[in-house]
Each structure stands twice: as C-alpha cells, then as structure tokens.
Amino acid sequence: MSSYSIEIVPYDPRWPAAYEQELKRLNKAIGSHVLRFEHMGSTAVTGLAAKPIVDISAAVKSLGDVPALFADLEAVGYRPIEQSSPDRYDLWRQTSNAPPTHILHFMELESDAWMRPLIFRNALRADPELRARYMQLKEQLASSFASDIKSYGQGKTDFVNQVLDSIL
C-alpha cells in the first residue's frame, strides 16, 4: 500500500454526493455481484471531520467471489490493498501518487465484519458526544501518526471496539 500523509479535514457536505456518484460507477461495473452497498466511515457521518476519503462497503455472499471482480474494478480505477483481515477485501481508487479518493471494502453480508462498522456508524450519527470524542481522537492520532496509517488505524480500532463492546 502506498503511503500518504494522514490529514483530517472538516466535514464536507459534498461527501454524500461523492458516495452516490461513485455508487453509480460501482453498480455499473460490479453491481450484479454485490448484495448491498453502504456509505461507511467518517464521511458518512454528518458533521464529523475525516480523512477526505469516501469509504464504501460492499456486501457479498462469499469473499471467495471477490478476486474475480478485480479486473472490472481495475477498469474503474480500483487497486487491491493488502487484505487487512481474513473477513474482508479492501481496494482503493487512487490516481498517481495522490492520496486515495475512495476505499471499497468487501465483506460477507451479516458477518461481524459487515455489521460492526454499520452499528458504529449509526452510533456516531445518533450521539453528538460520541461523535465529538471520536473526532478528537482522530485528530490526535493524525497528529501523532501523520505518516503511519497502521498506528493511526489501530488507535481508532481500539476506540471503536470499546464503543461496540459497550453497545453489544
């Protein structure tokens, strides 16, 4: 995975439209293979500062089917990122050495990998205090780990897991 500097920017009200626009492209390219798409991550939460990268989750029946989609996804600008876990495939859309504009996450429908991010996103949407705490954490992590996406991500994962453990 190419490295890029982690930058947290104020919420951009254009992010939902960017998701919808990309959803049209993805539906055209691979829609018949996907059971459900969701706008995920911080760009899906009104008012939440975020990295300016639109996260899209795609539910599939079986992760084993995903590698067969790589050629169609490459044709619309997506490249696989190393598989971050056995229950997910991640690809990103990036031009040249610029930061990615979109990240596409494939997971099996109804799996924990699919459900947990949905529950967390919905909790952020519903709870302004949680949203503020998460935003503060992300800004702190971005400052501490500006070019270390792995450490940045791990700091967020620990927080997310604590929140989900308190909900579930």
What DSSP string describes 15-77? HHHHHHHHHHHHHHHHGGG-SEEEEESGGGSTT--B-S-EEEEEEES-GGGGGGGHHHHHHTT
Dump pLDDT digits (tens) for 86-108: 899 999 998 777 788 999 999 99
Flag whether 93 is in a domain: yes
Flag whether 135 is in a domain: yes
Range of the domain at 109: 15-167
Supply the CATH number for residue 95's domain.
3.30.460.10
Flag whether 9 is in a domain: no
Q: Residue 4 has what pLDDT? A: 62
Flag whether 1 is in a domain: no
Flag whether 54 is in a domain: yes
Flag whether 27 is in a domain: yes
Flag whether 159 is in a domain: yes
Residue 54's closest CA among 3, 98, 20, 97? 20
**In this model, does residue 165 exceed pLDDT 80?**
yes
Average pLDDT over residues 33-49: 97
Q: In the structure, what pLDDT confidence band is assigned to residue 2 with cuts at 50, 70 and 90?
A: very low
Q: Residue 111 has what pLDDT? A: 96
Q: In the structure, what pLDDT confidence band is assigned to residue 149 with cuts at 50, 70 and 90?
A: confident
Average pLDDT over the chain reads 92
Which of the pair, 131 or 95, is modelled with greater confidence? 131
Work out how many domains the chain is built from and give that number.
1
Plot region of 77 (φ>0 → left; ψ -120 to 50 → alpha; else → beta): left
Q: Residue 33 has what pLDDT? A: 97
Q: Residue 81 has what pLDDT? A: 85
Average pLDDT over residues 154-168: 93
Contact in structure between 102 and 22 (CB atoms under 8 Å) = yes
Q: Residue 15 has what pLDDT? A: 97
Q: In the structure, what pLDDT confidence band is assigned to residue 3 with cuts at 50, 70 and 90?
A: low
How far is it between the farthest Cα atoms of the chain? 42
**In this model, does residue 163 exceed pLDDT 60?**
yes
Flag whether 10 is in a domain: no
Strands 102-108 and 54-60: parallel
